[in-house]
Structure 1
């Protein structure tokens, strides 16, 4: 009986130490694919987790930034011009996840701002627009090493003030890695 109590005491001490050693901050980078031009870009995120002592639930907040760029030549009626599209967005979101061993599925909801710039080498074809948006997302983070956590995430955003842009909902797939400390 004494060996069982000693073993249980060490096990409880180990669990309490490991719970308090969980990372509270994460810095991440991602490759992002969206369904509008420009289609490929990169993202950066900074996360802060709360409720580290909770055994299953993980709540947090995130600040994120994404950048997309596309440059090519467009031909219309024997007239060729080059164009460059720059899209960047930034925002804040609230996260809720469930710790299930090495996998942590999560969902979130946030707000942000998107800047869209269309630059052409022909006078009169340039324009830019700023749009407020809300977004919802879901994904999974994998704990392969204590510090490096790859993730995959799907996000959909609804732009609220688009006048010149032809789309209202933008979805994207992000694949990346978080560095937790």
Structure 2
């Protein structure tokens, strides 16, 4: 009986101290929706895991890029100008997630830059603006398959120095897939 108890103890000890095989890198793509014009866009992200020895917790460094494009009109001084609006942003973040069965809820905090361009036929009404931002986000990743993980994420960004763009906080929802390898 003691042999079995020692065997179970040693097996439990080996399982608890061994590092599980987990993905070190992640490449993701997403469809993103926000309330500001342009409203729909696409995003990509690359994540690298670190501190893998902490059980159940997944810590990552993330680099991300999003692109939004639409046609719209702006009214200024009783004149309406139509043109293409492009907004893109890029940044870095740190994420922390908890692996619970087939779900991984996560949160993150990061910094980045957003570029906003409005191009019209009248060069005097065209403008562009670049802003620094701080963002926070939370999401849920479904870990059913070992390589492919669908996710949903909500991110809010606080822009600093927005003069021509008429919003301070930019919130968005992203739906996408991560490839973990």
TM-score between the two structures when normalised by the length of structure 2: 0.87
Q: Secondary structure at the match of 1:124?
A: helix
Once the two structures are superposed, what CA deviation does each residue of 1:119-176 show, in whole Å capped at 9, x if it has no partner?
0112311000000000000011110100101111000000001111110100000010
Count the aligned residue pairs.
Answer: 178
Q: Secondary structure at the match of 2:55?
A: coil
* Conserved? CA contact 1:83–1:120, under 8 Å: yes
Give me the whole-angstrom Cα distance separating, in 1, the residues matched to 2:170 and 2:153.
14
Q: Which residue of 1 aligns with 2:68?
A: 68
Give me the whole-angstrom Cα distance separating, in 1, the residues matched to 2:163 and 2:80.
26
Once the two structures are superposed, what CA deviation does each residue of 1:61-106 show, in whole Å capped at 9, x if it has no partner?
1000000000256799xx8753100000000101111111111111
* Conserved? CA contact 2:95–2:107, under 8 Å: yes
What 5-or-longer segments of structure 1 have no aligned partner?
A: none
Q: Which residue of 2 aligns with 1:153?
A: 153
Q: How does 1:105-120 map to 2 (within 5 A)?
A: 105-120=105-120
> What is the CA RMSD across the aligned residues, in angstroms?
2.5
* Conserved? CA contact 1:88–1:116, under 8 Å: yes
Judged with a 3 Å threshold, the aligned counterparts in structure 2 of structure 1 residues 34 and 149 are, in CA distance, closer, same or farther, namely same
* Conserved? CA contact 1:51–1:57, under 8 Å: no
Say whether residues 1:23 and 2:23 are aligned partners: yes
